[in-house]
Amino acid sequence: EAGVTQFPSHSVIEKGQTVTLRCDPISGHDNLYWYRRVMGKEIKFLLHFVKESKQDESGMPNNRFLAERTGGTYSTLKVQPAELEDSGVYFCASSQDKGGGTDTQYFGPGTRLTVL
Amino acid sequence: QKEVEQDPGPLSVPEGAIVSLNCTYSNSAFQYFMWYRQYSRKGPELLMYTYSSGNKEDGRFTAQVDKSSKYISLFIRDSQPSDSATYLCAMRPVFGGTSYGKLTFGQGTILTVHP
């Protein structure tokens, strides 16, 4: 069974440009999460989808970030316009169950975003 | 103040040593406690999962939770070079009887086990 996949693995863009990150969760997983790790800091939660609905978007930093999960399968995270402080590694995770308790989140390898 | 504090290390030990990794937290709502292992250029991988206080053992790994002190630990016995990775503690809250999916992570401890 394929794990969580993310594309691209690495993206380098100029400040002010737009970047779209994609996550394909494990097949059948209703829960999809986005996290971000900025250099030198801890991994931080961005948002949680249950199928196509946003369950919790309390971690989204500002309105330059837009996450979608049309059809409840893959998800995209768009940053527009990108700023220097958006540089970091963006992780996607998926899980099968209700999204809480002992539900295990499986992480993708991450997309390393560099904004110059 | 961060909700979860974890010493980033780095920690370097000889093969066969016992490794102790720790996190403290401030949010009393955290009820589920996890340890993830992350190899370079990979995503975090779940290692151990504990609910509330107590111990849990899995092979060479033991996870401990002391909710009264808001302190969790991961012990690795007979450490191997293949254990060299970043170890992240993570926690999940329960509010009003409902468990939420959002994970709060510590900064991660970089561990190197040298032969």
Q: Do A59 and B102 touch (CB under 8 A)?
A: yes
Task: Identify the sign of the CA torsion B69, B74, B76, B77.
Answer: positive
Kindly list the residues from chain A whose CB atom is less than 8 angstroms away from the CB atom of residue B46: 104-106
Q: How confident is the model at residue A14 (pLDDT cuts 50, 70, 90)?
A: very high
Q: Do B44 and A42 touch (CB under 8 A)?
A: no
Supply angle C-alpha A3, A7, A11, rounded to 5: 140
CA atoms within 13 Å, Cβ hemisphere of B8: 6
Burial B76-104 (b: 16+ CB within 10 A, else e): beebeeebbbbbbbbbbbbeeeebbbbbb
**pLDDT computed for residue B87 by the predictor:** 98
Question: Residue B86: which of B113, B61, B110 has the closest Cα?
Answer: B110
Cα A34 from Cα A4, distance rounded (Å): 12
pLDDT, tens only, B34-50: 999 999 999 999 999 99
The stretch A14-37 carries a mean pLDDT of 96
Q: Would you say residue B113 has pLDDT above 70? A: yes
* Cβ of residue B29 closer than 8 Å to a chain A Cβ: no
Kindly list the residues from chain B whose CB atom is less than 8 angstroms away from the CB atom of residue A91: 43-44
Return mean pLDDT, chain A: 93
The stretch B19-41 carries a mean pLDDT of 94
Q: Give the Å distances, CA to CA, from B2 to A27, A86, B23, B26.
A: 34, 20, 11, 8
Q: Would you say residue A88 has pLDDT above 70? A: yes
**pLDDT computed for residue B101 by the predictor:** 85
Q: Would you say residue A99 has pLDDT above 60? A: no
Q: Do B103 and A105 touch (CB under 8 A)?
A: yes
**pLDDT computed for residue A1 by the predictor:** 64
Kindly list the residues from chain B whose CB atom is less than 8 angstroms away from the CB atom of residue A56: 100-102
Kindly list the residues from chain A whose CB atom is less than 8 angstroms away from the CB atom of residue B100: 56, 99-100
The stretch A99-105 carries a mean pLDDT of 75
Q: Would you say residue A100 has pLDDT above 70? A: no
Q: Would you say residue B100 has pLDDT above 70? A: yes
* Cβ of residue A107 closer than 8 Å to a chain B Cβ: yes
Cα B38 from Cα B82, distance rounded (Å): 12
The stretch A4-28 carries a mean pLDDT of 97
* Cβ of residue A97 closer than 8 Å to a chain B Cβ: no
Nearest-10 Cα torsion for A67, A104, A95, B112: 50
Q: How confident is the model at residue A103 (pLDDT cuts 50, 70, 90)?
A: confident
Cα A7 from Cα A64, distance rounded (Å): 20
